[in-house]
Chain A
Amino acid sequence: MNWLYDFTYLTQSIHESLSRNFEQGTVVLIEMILVGLAFMILFALLGLVLVYAERKVSAFFQQRLGPMRVGKWGTAQTLADVIKLLMKEPLINKNADKFLFNLAPYIIMITAFMTMAALPFAKGLQALDFDIGLLYISAVSSLGVVGILLAGWSSDNKYSLIGALRSGAQVISYELSVGLSLLTIVILTGSLQLSVIVESQANGWWIFKGHIPAVIAFIIFLIASTAETNRGPFDLAEAESELTAGFHTEYSGMKFAFFFLAEFANMFIVSALGATVFLGGWMPFHIGGWEVFNNIMDYIPPIFWFFGKVSFIIFLMMWFRWTFPRLRIDQLLTLEWKYLLPINLMNILVMAFLVLMGWYF
């Protein structure tokens, strides 16, 4: 069971056994394929689990049972949906730009994959660990909007176009807040490398150690990342009561499923990012100085800590979605530019002051 606590052993042993049998170049290639496969499996699993979770959570909020027929407690419902979507005819509008139309879902999927590569899932379980990890994630995740814009533009549908343009305005604005709220913590850690950020929380998570500015940053991060993933109450890009289905109105079959999957994958990614930066990532709940308590907490493997925290944030996001009404586009932009951004900038100043004075744990 040792590997469950530190994945470095596992990855090292795989690497060594591969190196013994193959050349250097082949080893890298095989490892890349293995990592890619692992992410694909994770992606598929995430889709299955999160879609089911959202349906069940929403059902319980709405005093329903949710899916109950396919499998025990409806657990196989998502699988059945996937089969249905696979068998559906992929329809394309006559006047649609076919190349861009087909390209758009893949762009969204690819960005989701690329972002996932830098996430630290557990100790030693991270595909890419480089010194600008946080910057890389925020840069790559903003590429997703290109896919949405292309989807809206190429569909030859005005609803799609309005949805896509709304989404463009929204994602570009809220990225600022996501970036700035993450920067607030970077001031504390002094590093953009995700593994270093996690290690720096060994004596307590930043949300506890960073005083009020960290809490404010976390709340802003929650709001802004919900907006960035186009989820309710910020789902203006889809807004089914206004724009039928927004940018993916014209998509059907598996291409629609890609958008759907990407939404859940993005939700997972921002939650993972929030968990890593604010809630200590895979780091167990530690209180500096309490050795016995810390040792007990260490018995729970890091990967469970990570997924536990992520599912907590995901649950928060679902809670928002199934409670609040949708914002209007001008209110959305007002919220960002007139409230979140100034608060965020002030918050960074306060945090910088705190760090300068050394007033944090």
Chain B
Amino acid sequence: MEEIIHDQELESKEYFINMGPQHPSTHGVLRLVLSLDGEIIKKVEPHLGFIHRSIEKMCEHDSYTQIVHLTDRMDYLSCHINNEAVCLCVEQALQIEVPDRVKVIRTIIDELTRLSSHQLWWGVMGMDLGAITTFLYGFRDREMITDIFEETCGARLTMNYNVPGGLFFDIHPNFQKRTKDFLDYFKKKLPEYDTLLSDNVIFTQRMKGIGILSKEDAISYGVTGPTGRASGFSCDVRKHHSYMAYDRVDFKEILDTEGDCFARYKCRINEMWESMQIIEQLIDNIPEGDYKVPTKAVIKLPKGEWYQKVETARGEFGVYIISEGQKSPYRLKFRSPGFSNLSALDHMARGCKIADLVAIMSTLDLVIPDIDR
């Protein structure tokens, strides 16, 4: 009798699903090959290269001012911070000390970029979880920041406001007023984000205890940014390797120990409060002075190697330049946060369900061009 039962027992087999490259929640052209047992994920294998534009190779043929323009095509949501990384690296090589005014303006725009990126992340994450309305709320609030950018830099997404040695041009006269207006507005709106998602039973149940990443794993996978900090990995470049005006402002590094999706969510929400605090401290104290240090028309770096890292909205972004003394670098390497963060996906998603995978990917806040470059 027992044998018969054993024979009749249904065997479940693993099967594969191609999630992407065209899929609503891979946020671009990321292809994930999922091994599934029913709804449960056995393995996630990311396949990259669908939006590979060989930016690093292109950099080897471009001048340093041109390279800046390529970087905001990578992580387009923190384009200003990417631009800044290249500029900082070049300035470091040329030993240029930028004026205080540039430092403060760069820091303010950095934080505005981070805010707008987190707003978009919040909206998109709600949509990934099925609450489509959040998407439009996120975009509504982001609109004000892009308007500020448009007025000052002329562009809304790929701003190219930085040049080696300073800024392209000075800030718009309205900049301070509009930024303050935005802060007043967004301080009222951010608690609404909590009302809509953070306090929602369905939302918290889908987030808590899902996709846990321990501190050790976060460090070994090189996970940085809010994703790493939610696991307790203190990795804020702004604190540890301060650049620009970050050493003169008072802000907290948001840390959490849970390491689950909800911790990552909370981390980003709290980072928005911190960003607003940073901007508030600086916006009235923009020192007078030049907005640019004059550089040569063709910048040639001396022979050598330089590395500069900054904190983008997604984590640690590094620029590594090897120069042979020419007008373009011999080799240039970008350390993008998205790539390292993605590598932890398989570890986090194993044993979860398909819906959880979407939640985990959302809280990783992936931008695919940043991963592929």
* Also in contact, A328 and B206, with CB within 8 A (given A241-B25, A244-B23): yes
* CB of B197 within 8 Å of the partner chain: yes
User: Are A233 and B202 within 8 A (Cβ)?
Assistant: yes
User: Are A242 and B206 within 8 A (Cβ)?
Assistant: no
* CB of B17 within 8 Å of the partner chain: yes
Question: In angstroms, how far is the closest chain B Cβ from the Cβ of A246?
Answer: 11
A330 to B24, CA, bound (A): 22
Which residues of chain B are within 8 angstroms of A232 by Cβ–Cβ distance? 130
* CB of B331 within 8 Å of the partner chain: no
Which chain A residue shows the least CB distance to B34?
Answer: A158
Which residues of chain B are within 8 angstroms of A243 by Cβ–Cβ distance? 354
User: Are B197 and A325 within 8 A (Cβ)?
Assistant: yes
Question: In angstroms, how far is the closest chain B Cβ from the Cβ of A219?
Answer: 15
Which residues of chain B are within 8 angstroms of A322 by Cβ–Cβ distance? 132-133
User: Are A330 and B136 within 8 A (Cβ)?
Assistant: no
Which chain A residue shows the least CB distance to B362?
Answer: A241
Which residues of chain A are within 8 angstroms of B203 by Cβ–Cβ distance? 325
- Majority secondary structure, B binding face: helix
* Also in contact, A330 and B133, with CB within 8 A (given A158-B17, A159-B17, A241-B358): no
Which residues of chain A are within 8 angstroms of B206 by Cβ–Cβ distance? 325, 327-328, 331
A233 to B203, CA, bound (A): 11
Mark each residue of chain B from 186 to 224: 1 if its CB lies under 8 Å from any CB of chain A, else 0. Answer: 000000000011001011011000000000000000000
A241 to B133, CA, bound (A): 14
User: Are B355 and A326 within 8 A (Cβ)?
Assistant: yes
A240 to B26, CA, bound (A): 12
A327 to B129, CA, bound (A): 8
Which chain B residue shows the least CB distance to A64?
Answer: B136
Q: Most chain-A CB neighbours within 10 Å: which of B23, B133, B140?
A: B133
- How many chain B residues sit at the interface, stated as a range, is 20 to 34
Interface positions, chain A 128-172, Cβ under 8 Å from B, are 158-159, 162, 166
A227 to B358, CA, bound (A): 21
User: Are A331 and B205 within 8 A (Cβ)?
Assistant: yes
User: Are B24 and A244 within 8 A (Cβ)?
Assistant: yes
* CB of B155 within 8 Å of the partner chain: no
* CB of A62 within 8 Å of the partner chain: yes
Q: Which of B15, B353, B358 is within 8 Å of A329, CB to CB?
A: B353
User: Are A324 and B200 within 8 A (Cβ)?
Assistant: yes
* CB of B254 within 8 Å of the partner chain: no
User: Are A325 and B23 within 8 A (Cβ)?
Assistant: no
Count the A residues whose beta carbon is within 8 Å of the partner chain — how many?
29
Q: Which of B129, B136, B356 is within 8 Å of A325, CB to CB?
A: B129
Question: In angstroms, how far is the closest chain A Cβ from the Cβ of B196?
Answer: 8
Question: In angstroms, how far is the closest chain B Cβ from the Cβ of A163?
Answer: 11
Question: In angstroms, how far is the closest chain A Cβ from the Cβ of B103?
Answer: 37
Which chain A residue shows the least CB distance to B197?
Answer: A325
Which chain B residue shows the least CB distance to A158?
Answer: B17
Mark each residue of chain B from 131 to 158: 1 if its CB lies under 8 Å from any CB of chain A, else 0. Answer: 1110111001000000000000000000
Question: In angstroms, how far is the closest chain B Cβ from the Cβ of A298?
Answer: 40
Interface positions, chain A 29-58, Cβ under 8 Å from B, are 58
Q: Which of B25, B197, B202, B205 is within 8 Å of A242, CB to CB?
A: B25
* CB of B226 within 8 Å of the partner chain: no
* CB of A63 within 8 Å of the partner chain: yes
* CB of B39 within 8 Å of the partner chain: yes
Which residues of chain B are within 8 angstroms of A166 by Cβ–Cβ distance? 39
* CB of A235 within 8 Å of the partner chain: yes
Question: In angstroms, how far is the closest chain A Cβ from the Cβ of B254?
Answer: 23
* CB of A11 within 8 Å of the partner chain: no
* Also in contact, A242 and B136, with CB within 8 A (given A235-B130, A325-B126, A326-B129): no
Mark each residue of chain B from 330 to 364: 1 if its CB lies under 8 Å from any CB of chain A, else 0. Answer: 00000000000000000000000111101000000
Beyond A63-B137, A241-B24, 6 additional contacts (C-beta under 8 Å) are A62-B136, A233-B202, A240-B24, A242-B355, A242-B358, A328-B353
